[in-house]
Structure 1
Amino acid sequence: MTSTQNVIFIYLVNFIINVNPNPVDNGATIETKQLLSILRSFSKDTHRFLFGQHKATMTGCEGGHSPYSIHKRNNHTSWTFTEGQVNIHSEDKLCDIKDLTGEYPSVIGFDLGDLSSRSLAIQKYLIKRAANRGLIVTVSWHMRNPLNGGSPWTTDDHSHTNLSHTVRRLLDGGDNHLKFKQVLNQAADFFLSLHDAKGNLIPVLFRPFHEMDGNWFWWGTGNRVQNTPDDYKRLFRLIVHHMRDIRKVHNLLYVYSPSKTNDKENYLQFYPGDSSVDVLGYDYYFKAPFSPAITDFQSRIAHIADLAKSKGKSAAISEIGITSSGLQKHHRFWTDHVLTQILSLKNASISYIMAWMNQCGAHSDVVRVPYRGHEASSEFLKFYHHAATIFGSEMKRISIVPQIVG
């Protein structure tokens, strides 16, 4: 540790110790409260934030080799961690970010998906390894429609099922309420199975049913499903109640993350209330060529950070990137359009930001974060080396704080 890093570490530890966590779950584990303290500390720091990527150790675009599942295309070898590797206790050595920077991201995302035993076995294995490295784990949920098992994306659901008011039908009194509770129980079982090397439950940032203000998911609005903001609020509260109060899952922090709102009033349109949310998130994607303008991104960050501060919550950019393979042309995206803009807002503090996963396979490449050898890799290294960005190696030190009693 250099002298500069040592000063930063001491500053962060003192900062975190003096943050009083107050999660929406009064029975939250000590480790979960500790995680919230870390997030709250960064939500008060305008100079530093955690950087993460979804499925960073589960799939990537370069360096693939056995026993990973691999595809060779366009002079690079993509890879996917397999269930077979779980069975042989394989090292999860591959990670595009680590291969480029030498460090894992400080936050790693996973997804419950369809709750298949194969997928959950892989993710449970990788979550435990991430937690043992001191990394922060976040879990989203692209749930299949409980009404018919159809796709999370309404445009991909070609069944003849009447999907009208899907969310309302999952709530208490709805004709699919019991089926939905069974699905929630599967998720609860998964969360309760996550233990670190010391036997403690691993704290998880749980981000269910994100981007609800868009029309692409069955839990969204403005589509044939005809959900309402009130339906969504009740759904989110139901999830928190079931996990926290019925199943006694006390290792979750709850993240709320819309994607289209442009002011505080719109942001709160689907908000389930302060008693159900720990982190105010936002999913933001630039389009290539850049649209909307950078000022739009800045104003939305400012709104969320200000709201979080007023509510005593943490603020996060729960997804961020550029669409249409924009990174191929805009090599300085992560420095010019993300880092510089976050730091330009003097009074806006963000606890973490997360890129979506790199998706490279036999037929297509979608690169969200550069891998080693990618055209944008040298520019991303500038993002990595900046004092504001926190990657995995610092997490073990940041996480070493006195246990929080109560």
Structure 2
Amino acid sequence: GSDTKAVCGDYPAVYSFDFAEHIDDRHASDPDAQALRLRCCREAYDRGMVLTSCIHINNPLTGGDSWDNSSNRVAAEILTEGSATNRTFKEWLDRLADIAHNLRGSDGKLIPVIFRPFHEHTQTWSWWGASCTTTEEFINLWKFTVKYLRDTKGVHNFIYAISPQMDSAKTVDDFYFRWPGDEWVDFVGMDCYQGINNAVFVTNLKAISKVSLAKLKPCGVTETGVEGFTATDYWTTNIHAPLTGRRVSMVVTWRNKYDPMESGTHYFSVFPGHPSERDFVKMYNQENSFFCSDLPDMYTPAENVTVL
């Protein structure tokens, strides 16, 4: 079920998920969960929603998780043709390509996905992050991944999104940190955990809008939210107000997870019974907030337009 639908009667416009467990060394660990996720993808597409995926993939060199930043050799080894890490990573991408080729809606058509590899690359926590790779290595890793999926494996339903982490006030230049090149990026995202600091959010929304306009690429907030928030006016005050008037195509909060071991506070969005429920509905009812039922037909190409 959808917490959003339970609160406002409509699905979100965007379904955000993670491909990692389908493709790395966890790929056979939980087939039921994986089947469910792919089913959700198909259902989201059938409803007309936009799909976006990150990949918290494990470390192909050390065997650790995506937060294992103990080695600064991972990207270098992936980029060394024929190395053990290179072969492992290609195997993971082969699985991803297989999923992409088989991800079809009820209409039989391939489902487009805004794909965010190596997200939050501005940070140091991941094996692809700023402390483990050089600028050249990161850019080459990005290009290697796009080339392999697109040219070697023939995947053409991925829209490649870069998503730096922008938690404090940033400038346009900050968005070009390790920019792979205009022809290698389709969508400009940002993961912005600004808390309830509207000044930071507005500054970064202005900056990403400028990048979007300069590069003629759509942009959006690919992750945001406040973990365990309780503010009753969070949606109108900290999400809707800063986004109003911005040339930003979407905003995605991080997940809601219910786990008694985490005292039930690992959530970033609304759910039935949350103190911000009424405020969320207020945002939902605004003319400039788009949910699933507000979306135009996203998947029928415009007439007399050729996409090269």
> Would you say same fold, with TM above 0.5?
yes
2: CA distance, partners of 1:384 / 1:125 = 26
Give yes or no for the alignment of 1:300 onto 2:300: no
User: Match of 1:352, as an amino acid?
Assistant: M
Q: Which amino acid aligns with 2:2?
A: C
- The aligned counterpart of 1:12 is none
Q: CA deviation at 1:395?
A: 2.7
Give the counterpart letter for 1:361 in structure 2.
D
Q: Distance in 1 between matches of 2:82 and 2:254?
A: 34
Bigger CA radius of gyration: 1
| Alignment partners' CA distance in 2, 1:400 and 1:102 | 25
Unpaired runs of at least 5, structure 1? 1-93, 156-161
Match of 2:65 among 144, 148, 151: 151
User: Secondary structure at 1:297's aligned position in 2?
Assistant: helix
> TM-score by structure 1 length?
0.69
Report the counterpart of residue 285 of structure 1 in structure 2. Answer: 193
Distance 2:194 2:176 in 1: 22
Check the 8 A contact 1:279/1:313 in 2, yes or no: yes
1:321 alignment partner in structure 2: 225
Q: Work out whether residues 72 and 127 of structure 2, in 8 Å CA contact, stay in contact via their aligned partners in 1.
A: no
* Residue 103 of structure 2 corresponds to residue 103 of structure 1: no
Q: Give the match for residue 144 of structure 2.
A: 238
Instruction: Pick the aligned partner of 1:169 from 64, 73, 77.
Output: 77
User: Equivalents in 2 of 1:339, 1:332: separation in Å?
Assistant: 10
Distance 1:184 1:97 in 2: 32
1:105-144: per-residue Cα shift (whole Å, max 9, x none)? 0110111123224143222111111111111111110000
Q: How far apart are residue 394 of structure 1 and its match?
A: 2.2
Deviation at 1:400, TM superposition (A): 5.2
Report if the CA contact (8 A) 1:147-1:166 is conserved: yes
Number of the residue aligned with 1:388 = 288
Give me the whole-angstrom Cα distance separating, in 2, the residues matched to 1:350 and 1:266: 18
> What is the TM-score normalised by the length of structure 2?
0.90
Contact 2:175 2:211 in 1 (8 A): no
Q: Which position in structure 2 is the counterpart of 1:332?
A: 233
Aligned to 1:275: 183
- Secondary structure at 2:39 match in 1: helix
Shift of 1:167: 1.3
CA deviations over 1:256-312 (Å, ceiling 9, x no partner): 00003711222212111111111100000133xx4xx42222111111110111111
Residues 205 and 253 in structure 1, CA contact (< 8 A), matched pair in contact too: yes
Q: Is the alpha carbon distance of 1:114 and 1:163 closer, same or farther for their aligned partners in structure 2, counting shifts above 3 Å?
A: farther
Query: For the residues of structure 2 that align with 1:369 and 1:333, how far apart are their CA atoms?
Result: 10
SS at match of 1:286: coil
Q: Does the CA contact (< 8 Å) of 2:164 and 2:189 recur in 1?
A: yes
State which of 264, 273, 278 in structure 1 corresponds to 2:172.
264
Q: Find the aligned partners of 2:19 and 2:301 in 1 and give their Cα distance.
A: 30
Contact 1:335–1:382 (Cα < 8 Å) also in 2 = yes
Aligned counterparts, 1:186-205, within 5 A: 186-205=95-114
Q: How much is the aligned-residue C-alpha RMSD, in angstroms?
A: 1.9
User: Counterparts of 1:40-51 in structure 2 under 5 Å?
Assistant: none
1:254 aligns with 2:254: no
Candidates 355, 361, 369, aligned match of 2:259:
361
Deviations 1:2-60 (A, max 9, x none): xxxxxxxxxxxxxxxxxxxxxxxxxxxxxxxxxxxxxxxxxxxxxxxxxxxxxxxxxxx
CA distance 1:168–1:174, change in 2 (3 Å): farther
Does 275-284 or 369-378 show the bigger shift?
369-378
Q: Matches of 1:197 and 1:396 in 2, distance apart?
A: 18
Separation in 2 of the partners of 1:305 and 1:393?
A: 25
Is the Cα–Cα contact under 8 Å of residues 133 and 396 in structure 1 kept in the other structure?
no
Task: Report percent identity of matched pairs.
Answer: 27
Label 1:164 to 1:174 Cα distance change in 2 as closer, same or farther (>3 A).
farther
In structure 2, the partner of 1:122 is 36
Q: Secondary structure at the match of 2:66?
A: coil
> For 1:272 and 1:385, how far apart are their aligned partners in 2?
39
1:112 is aligned, of 9, 12, 19, to 19
Q: Relative to structure 2, which stretch is displaced further, 115-124 or 352-361?
A: 115-124
